[in-house]
Structure 1
Amino acid sequence: MALHRSEWDKSERDQNGVQAGAGEWRDAPSAYDDLFAEPSGNGVLTKARMPDRMADPRAVFQLVRSELLLDGNASQNLATFCTTWAEDEVRRLMDVCLDKNMIDKDEYPQTAEIEARCVRILADLWNSPAEAATVGCSTTGSSEAAMLGGLAMKWRWRKRREAEGRPAGKPNLVCGPVQICWEKFARYFDVELRQIPLEDGATGLRPHQLADHVDENTIGVVAILGVTFTCDYEPVAELSAALDRIQADTGLDVPIHVDAASGGFVAPFLQPDLVWDFRVERVVSINASGHKYGLAPLGVGWAIWRDAAELPEDLVFDVDYLGGDMPTFALNFSRPGGEVVAQYYLFQRLGREGYRRVQQACADTARWLGEQIASLGPFELLYDGRGALPAVSYKLKDDHSGFTLYDLTEQLRVRGWQVPSYPLPAHRDGTVIQRVLIRHGIGRDEASLLVDDMKRCLDRLSGGTTGAPAHPSFHH
C-alpha cells in the first residue's frame, strides 16, 4: 500500500520500529529490504510543506534520486561548456571536503594553501612575467571572476581620473559579443557596456572596430578567448596592437581583460604558440572557469591579475571574525572548498601532458563532427573546430527553406540531445545558429550517434520518412 502525503507526514519513528501505516508497525529497516516494496519507499514527497516527522534516509534518498532521473542525460547536453564527467577520485575528494569553507583560511589553512598553489600554477600557465607579483583567487565560476576583473578595471580608471582632477562618473566597457555575465556586470556596477556588433562573416570582435568606441571614459576592453556564440577566439594580440595605435594617436592607455572562461584551459595545451595571455603587456587580468575545460566539478572559477598593483586595495576586505585576520576579494562569501581541491588534484593528476591529450581528443572529435555536419547538406559552418575551442557552430544555408534550426533542436530533443539554437548578437540580421560543444567524456562514438540522429531528423523535417525501417527486419 502506497503512502499518500498525509500518511507520509504522519509516519513516526522510535527506538523500536517505524510506523508503516495507520496503526501498523513493522521492524526497523533492514539493509536487505527492497525499498520500493516498503511503504516508506512508496511514499510521495511533499511539494510545498516540510514533513512533520523524520523518515527513513534510504527511502528519502531513493525517492529524490528517482525524481532526478527526470533530468536530461548530462553527456547529451551539448549546449553546456561545463564538466559532466569526473573520476571516482574527484568524487571522493569532494566528499572529504564537504565541511571545508573556502573562505575560512584560518580554520582550513591547507585548503587555502592549495588555492594559492592553483593561482601560482595558473599564473605560470598563462605566462605571467617572472618579476611580477601575480595575485589571484578562486571564485564560484568564471562569471564571478569576470566581474572581479571588471571591478578592478573600474576602480583603477576612477582613481586615475580623480588624480587628474577629471570627472569619473560615466565609465564604459568595450567588447564584442559577450556572455550575459558582462551585461550583468555593467548593470549591477553602473558601467556603460559598448558591445560592438559582429561584422558579416566575423565570429568575434575585430581590431579595427575599436577606434570608434574607445574614449577617455573606457575602463578597459574585454577580449574573449572562446566566444560563447561561435566558439572562436578573438585575436588578443591584434586587439592590443590596435589599442597601441589608439594610444599613440590620442594618449588613451586602455587595458585588456581576457575572458578566457573556456579557452584558458584549451589554448595553453592545443595552441601554445598563440599569444593571448600575460605575454601581451596590455593584458592586466584573466578569468577562467575551472568547471569548464578546466575539467573540475561545477562551482570553481579563477581570477588572475598580472601584478598586485592591478588589484586596488580598496576592493580587498580584511575579515577577522572567523578566527584570524584574512584578506578576501569575492562577490560570494562562504562556499565549499571541494572544487578548488579537485582542481588541484586534476593539475597533479593530468599535468600538461594529460590536459593536452584530453583537449586534443576533444578537438579531434569536434573537427570530425564539423566535417560530418558540413556533408549533411543544408548547413554552413561558421566555426569548424579548428584553431580554437573543441566545438562547432553552423547555420542553415541562405537558400535553405522548409524548416528552421529551432525545429531541428526540437526534433533532436526527442532523442535526448540538447543542441541550442539562438540568434547571433546584434546587427547580424537575425542570423540563427547552432552550436555543439565537445567535452571530456564525449567521444567519437557518441558524436556519430548524434550525426545519425541529425540525419533522421533532417529526413523528417524535409518531409521524407521517419528514419526508421519501413518494415521489421528479421534475421534467419
Structure 2
Amino acid sequence: MTAGAAYQAVQDELRPDVRPQLNLATFITTGMEPEAERLMAEFLYHNTVDGVQPLHTADLAQRCVAALADLWHAPDPDSAVGTSTGGSSEACMLAGLAMLMLWRSRTSGSRERPNLVMSTAVHVCWAKFCAYWDVEARQIPVAEGGSGIDPHTAAEACDSNTIGVVTVLGTTYDGFYEPVQQVCAALDRRCARDGVDVPVHVDAASGGMVAPFLDPALVWDFRLPRVSSINTSGHKYGMVAPGLGWIVWRDPGVVPAELGFSTDYTGGRMSTQTLSFTRPVAPVIAQYYQFLRLGAEGYRAVVQRCRDLAQSLAAQLCQVPELRVISSADHLPVVAFTTHDHAGFSVTDLADRLRRRGWLMPTYALPSDQADVTVARIVCRNDLSDVLARRLADDIATAVTALRADRGGSRSRRRRDVVPSSSEIALTIDAGKTLGRGGSADLDTVVAGVAP
C-alpha cells in the first residue's frame, strides 16, 4: 500500500478513545512544549552508543546525572556514577544487580540464597527482579492507613543474606512516601546490635522529582549514608515523553566493577552499565532541555501547581458523603479514594460512569494485606489544566448523582447529600495554567504565577 494508506491504517487502529490528558491513571508525561518535541524529532535516529557520531550526547547525559546527584545531595555530585535507562523498571534492575553483586563479593561465593526486603507496596518491577535473578522477596505488609514499610519490621527481616532494603518515595497505590530516614535509623540500630549491615535503595520513580522541590526538609536521599542508590523516571515528573529513567549511585565505591562493560565496535570506545545496548538519545536530550528550560524554581512551580490542584480535588471529594479519601496529595500529587460501605455503589461503578465522559480513572485493589479495599486514583500531571480539573469535578458530581438515582434514592435530598459542584469550591489555580502543548507562554505563566 502507499505510505499515506499505511499511515491511515495504523492511525485508525490506534486512534485512542481517551485523550492522553484525560487519562487519570498514568504518571507518564502526556504533553511537552513544541520546542522539546522538535528536539526529540531532530535526534530521532541517534542512539546513545554511536561512537562515530560527533555529538556530545554522552556529556549531556552525564550533566543530567550530576544535576540529579546534586539535587539528591550526593557527597560529590561531579563524581557520582549513574546512567539513563529505558525507565525506572530498568533502573531498579540495575540497582538490584549492584546490591546483589556487592553481596556476592562480601560473602565470597556463599551458596545461601540472597534476599531483598521491601514492602508489599513496591512496583511490580521488584517482583520481576527477584524472579529473574533468583532472589527471595521478603515483603513487609502495609497496614491500612500506614505510610508504607514499617522500619522496625524491615530491619528485623534482614540477615546476613540480605542484599538490601527497598524503600519507595511515592507508591503507585496512593502516592505516599515511605519513611526512608526511619528505615535507615532502624538498620543503623540493627547493625550496631549484631553487625548486619544492609544498604538501602530508594525507588523514587515519581517522588525523586517532587520531594526535593516541595519537601526540601524531608531527609530521604544521599544525606543518609545508608542510601546507596536512587532511581527516578524522567518520563514522569521529570516531564519528558516516554521512555526515560535514571539511576544514580552515591559514589563509585558502591558500584561493582562487573556492572559496567566497555566496547569499541561502535566506532569509538564506549562504556555502558545498562541492561540494553542501543537506546534512543532523544529522551536524554529532552531531559537536558527541561533542566535548562525550568531550572529548580521552574520545576518547583510546576509540581507545586500539580499538588495544589490535587489537594483541591481531594477537598471536593471529601464533601461527597459516599466517598472516603485515602490520599489527599500530601506527598505525590495523587488523590486516592474509595467508597463507604453505605454508598450503594463502588469506585468501579463511578469509573464506568466517568468513562462515558471521556475520562480513564483506574480502580484496583490495595496490596495483598488490604486486598479487600478497592480504590480509585487520580494523578495530577503538568498538563491537567484548571479547566479540565473543573470539568472532572463536575463529571464526578454528575456521576455520583446518577449512581444515587440508580440505587433508588429520593430525588429530593438534604443539602448535606448534595455533591458540591466545582464552582462551589474554589480551585487554587488560575484557569489555563498548564505546561503541555500550549507553548512556552503557558509555562512562563506557571513559573511566574506560582513561584513566590
State the TM-score bracket (shorter-chain normalisation): 0.7 to 0.9
Alpha-carbon separation, structure 1, partners of 2:319 and 2:77 = 51
Q: Within 1, Cα distance between the matches of 2:36 and 2:349?
A: 38
> How many pairs were matched up?
408
Q: Secondary structure at the match of 2:137?
A: strand
1:107 deviates by 2.5
- State the Cα distance separating 1:456 from its structure 2 match: 1.6
Please show how residues 205-216 of structure 1 align to structure 2 within 5 Å: 205-216=149-160
**Which protein has the larger Cα radius of gyration, Structure 1 or Structure 2?**
1
In structure 2, the residue corresponding to 1:427 is in which secondary structure? helix
- List gaps (5 residues or longer) in structure 2: 412-452
Distance in 2 between residues matched to 1:407 and 1:218, nearest whole Å: 43
2:339 is matched with which residue? 396
1:245 aligns with 2:189: yes
Deviations 1:274-325 (A, max 9, x none): 1111111100000000000000111110000011121111111111210122
Of 277, 294, 299, the residue aligned with 2:238 is 294
Say if 2:91 is the partner of 1:145: yes
1:70-92 alpha-carbon deviations (Å, 9 max, x no partner): 34210011100000011000111
Question: After the TM superposition, which residues 324-343 of structure 1 pair with which residues of structure 2 at under 5 Å, given as runs?
Answer: 324-343=268-287
Indicate the residue corresponding to 2:360 in structure 1.
418
Aligned partner of 2:383 in structure 1 is 441
CA gap of 1:169–1:71, structure 2 versus 1, over 3 A, is farther
In the alignment, the residues of structure 1 paired with residue 312 and residue 86 of structure 2 have an alpha-carbon distance, to the nearest angstrom, of 33
The CA deviation at 1:67 is 3.9
TM-score normalised to structure 2 length = 0.87
**Secondary structure, aligned partner of 2:57:** helix
Q: Of residues 164, 171, 193 in structure 2, which corresponds to 1:227?
A: 171
Equivalence for 1:317: 261
1:263 to 193, 204, 207: 207
Which residue identity lines up with residue 196 of structure 2 in the other structure? L
Counterpart code for 2:344: G
Q: 1:379 to 1:321 in 2, by over 3 A?
A: same
* Range moving further from structure 2, 305-314 or 123-132: 123-132
How big is the shift at 1:108? 4.9
Q: For the structure 1 residues 297 and 108, does the alpha-carbon distance in structure 2 shift closer, same or farther, using more than 3 Å as the test?
A: farther
**1:174 corresponds to 2:112:** no
Q: Unaligned 5+ residue runs, structure 1?
A: 1-53, 470-476
The 3 A distance-change label for structure 1 pair 315 and 448 is same
Q: Deviations over 1:205-234 (max 9, x none)?
A: 121221331111110001100011110101
**Is the Cα contact below 8 Å between 2:322 and 2:343 reproduced in 1?**
no
Instruction: Give the counterpart of 2:31 among 68, 77, 85.
Output: 85
Q: 1:128 aligned to 2:77?
A: no
Tell me the residue number matched to 1:197: 141
- The answer (yes or no) to whether the contact 2:25–2:379 under 8 Å persists in 1 is yes
> Is the deviation greater in 264-273 or in 101-110?
101-110
Counterpart of 1:277 in structure 2 is 221
Q: Give the deviation of 1:357 after TM superposition.
A: 0.8
Other structure's SS at 1:182 match? helix
Structure 1 equivalent of residue 20 of structure 2: 74
Task: Please give the alpha-carbon distance, in whole angstroms, between the structure 2 residues aligned to 1:103 and 1:389.
Answer: 34
In 2, Cα distance between equivalents of 1:372 and 1:325: 57
Q: Say if 1:175 and 1:196, in contact at 8 Å, map to a contact too.
A: yes
Q: CA deviation at 1:401?
A: 4.3
* SS of match in other structure, 1:436: strand
CA pair 161-373 structure 1, distance change in 2 beyond 3 A: same
Provide, for residues 366-423 of structure 1, a one-character-per-residue CA deviation record: whole Å limited to 9, x for no partner.
Answer: 000000111111122211112x1111111222x3242222222222111111111111
Query: 2:392 pairs with 442, 450, 460, which one?
Result: 450
After superposition, the Cα gap between the structure-2 partners of 1:59 and 1:253, relative to the gap in structure 1 and judged at 3 Å, is: same
In structure 1, the residue matched to 2:348 is 406
- 1:457-476 matches, within 5 Å, as 457-464=399-406
Secondary structure at the aligned position of 2:56 is classed as: helix
Q: CA 1:285–1:106 in structure 2 vs 1: closer, same or farther (change >3 Å)? A: farther
**Cα offset for 1:433?**
1.1
Does structure 2 conserve the Cα–Cα contact (< 8 Å) formed by 1:207 and 1:242? yes
- Sequence identity percentage: 47
Partner residue of 1:363 out of 278, 297, 307: 307
Change in 2 beyond 3 A, CA 1:131/1:81: closer
Task: State how far apart, in whole Å, the 2-side matches of 1:148 and 1:282 are.
Answer: 18
Alignment of 1:156 onto 2:102? yes
Question: What SS class does the counterpart of residue 463 from structure 1 fall into?
Answer: helix
CA distance in 2, matches of 1:423, 1:452: 26
Q: Which amino acid aligns with 1:462?
A: R
Correspondence 1:9-20 to 2 at 5 A = none
SS in 1 for 2:67: helix
Further displaced range: 241-250 or 424-433: 424-433
Q: Secondary structure at the match of 1:445?
A: helix
- Report the counterpart of residue 50 of structure 1 in structure 2: none
User: Are the equivalent residues in 2 in contact too, given 1:105–1:112 (CA < 8 A)?
Assistant: no
Secondary structure at the counterpart of residue 248 of structure 2:
strand
* 8 Å contact from structure 2 (residues 51, 269) kept in 1: no
Distance 1:432 1:212 in 2: 30
Query: Which has more helix, going by share of residues?
Result: 2
Judging changes above 3 Å, is the alpha-carbon distance between structure 1 residues 274 and 410 closer, same or farther for their aligned structure 2 residues? same
RMSD (Å) for aligned C-alpha atoms: 1.8
Higher RCO (C-alpha under 8 Å, 6+ residues apart): 2
Tell me, in whole angstroms, the C-alpha distance in 2 between the residues paired with 1:248 and 1:382. 37
Provide the C-alpha distance between the structure 2 equivalents of 1:227 and 1:75, rounded to a whole number of angstroms: 21
Quick one: distance in 2 between partners of 1:465 and 1:65? 41
Alpha-carbon contact 1:93-1:342 (below 8 Å) kept: yes
Give the counterpart letter for 2:60 in structure 1.
Answer: I
Partner of residue 327, structure 2: 383
Partner residue, 1:95: 41
Deviates most, 227-236 or 166-175: 166-175
